[in-house]
Amino acid sequence: MTQGSITKNLIMFAIPVFFGQLLQQLYNVVDSVVVGNVLGKEALAAVSTTGSLIFLMVGFINGLFMGNSVIIGKRYGAGDYDGVAVATHTGITFAIIMGLFMSVFGYFFTPKLLGWMGTPADVMPRSTLYFKIYFLGGLGNILYSACCGVFQAVGDSRRPLYYLIVSTILNTVLDIAFVKFLGFGIGGAALATIIAQFVSAILAFSKLARVEGPHRIYLKKLRIHGDTLKKELMIGFPTGIQNSVIAIGNVVVQSNINAFGSVAMAGCGSYFKLEGFVFLPITCMCMALTTFVSQNIGAGKIDRVKKGSVIGSIIGVTCAEVIGVICFFFAPVFLRIFSSDPEVLLIGSTQAKTESLFFCLLALSHCLAGIYRGAGKTTIPMIVMLSSWCLLRITYITIIVRIIPVVNVIFWAYPLTWSVSSIIFVIYYFKGNWMIISTERNG
């Protein structure tokens, strides 16, 4: 990432991430497709309502590991290979600990969490079952993400793709087998997911134990290095908090959607699954920018950081808007994959037409946030996204829904808050001192 064509580096890194994220979305969508078509819209609503809570747990822990990736990237760019090894072993050890914690916490607190969301009584039993089983796979989920973060920090975005291909195929086969043919119901969909997650985690971990390079894992060296963990958490904790509070905001949004009944839950849930595909160019370029910026700052190439941040942002925004236009016109066709119920399709299509043309703003916010994280300035994205995507979004929905009690009001919360965050991020890009300070904190 520190040499050669900037555009080529970003695109060559982003392409495997793109296909990996595509598979990840297919991975997540399979449950909804199988459940919605085999078990009906009530079961689809049960799966949909757990999405915000899953992101709440997983988003926080994955945010913590952003610090690990940034530290590894900077040290790798600076040629500090001993430091890379220390950061890798610390991050993987921490991932194992947090994965076990997530499994225990998620399993036992599921009923309370769903209750706080105001999950309807007719959906609660299935949501609880799905959520409990899903979180039993917490270790596989977190360990896989941490291993992928190590690969990507050193510029290898291909290996995570290979492992995800295997797990996606496995999840699809098991979903169909468990739900459609063996009659395991909604619990079968969750069971298929956690089996596939563990397989991908084992594949990624075993490769890290054999790879040639400073990021190789040795079992006897797996332990927490206090100073390195502190640095990783100082960078990653703001991102984890940001993800969690945004997820809490999404839980509040989901609670308001729940108040409109299972049809609204299924319709919005289907749209959110579709919207996940919009995040593909956004996520892959955001991750490419984070790795690019961290490695080049580690190497002291500030001019290259400036050029790369502009190029990457333009690519991400353009791709997102093209997908947004496609989504605007063809949303009903895509949503039919999840459900053929006319009411469900109407709600999902309305949300798509409301939000899709503003995807360029969503992409701009994420790309700039990825740049700042790569520079180690994770507090700025946290503050901006918490104030706009959480506080402002919740305030708007809480007030306006009570004045105009229709579900469409909720949809407009997203373009509004994306606009605010984009404006603030752009101002900070030109007026802030994120590159100057970050060179003094090289990890």
Return the structure tokens found at 63: 């945010």
Residue position matching structure tokens 């977190």? 142
Q: 347-353, long-range: CB within 8 Å, 24+ apart, which pairs?
A: 347/263, 347/264, 347/266, 347/267, 347/268, 347/271, 347/407, 348/267, 348/268, 348/270, 348/271, 348/274, 350/408, 350/411, 351/267, 351/268, 351/271, 351/411, 352/271, 352/274, 352/275, 352/327, 352/328, 353/328
Average pLDDT of 427-441? 69
Residue type, 160: P
Who has greater pLDDT, 126 or 396? 396
- Among the listed residues 348, 374, 391, 95, the one whose alpha carbon sits nearest the alpha carbon of residue 252: 391
The answer to whether residues 75 and 299 touch, using CB atoms and an 8 Å cutoff, is: no
SS3 at position 136: coil
Is 80 exceeded by the pLDDT of residue 149? Answer: yes
Percentage above 90 pLDDT, the chain: 27
Q: What is the pTM of this model?
A: 0.69
pLDDT band at 156 (very low <50, low <70, confident <90, very high): confident
SS (H, E, C) 346-379: HHHHHHHHHHHHHHHHHHHHHHHHHHHHHCCCCH
**180-226 confidence digits (pLDDT tens):** 888 888 888 889 989 998 999 999 999 999 999 999 999 999 999 99
- Among the listed residues 189, 88, 190, the one whose alpha carbon sits nearest the alpha carbon of residue 136: 190
The answer to whether residues 161 and 171 touch, using CB atoms and an 8 Å cutoff, is: no
154-20-354-352 Cα dihedral, nearest 10 degrees:
-170
Give CA–CA dist 78/443, Å, rounded: 10
State the sign of the Cα–Cα–Cα–Cα dihedral 416, 419, 425, 427.
Answer: negative
Who has greater pLDDT, 232 or 39? 232
Give CA–CA dist 332/345, Å, rounded: 6
**316-329 confidence digits (pLDDT tens):** 999 889 989 998 99
The answer to whether residues 103 and 138 touch, using CB atoms and an 8 Å cutoff, is: yes
The answer to whether residues 251 and 53 touch, using CB atoms and an 8 Å cutoff, is: yes
Give φ, ψ of 241 to 5 degrees. Answer: -60, -45
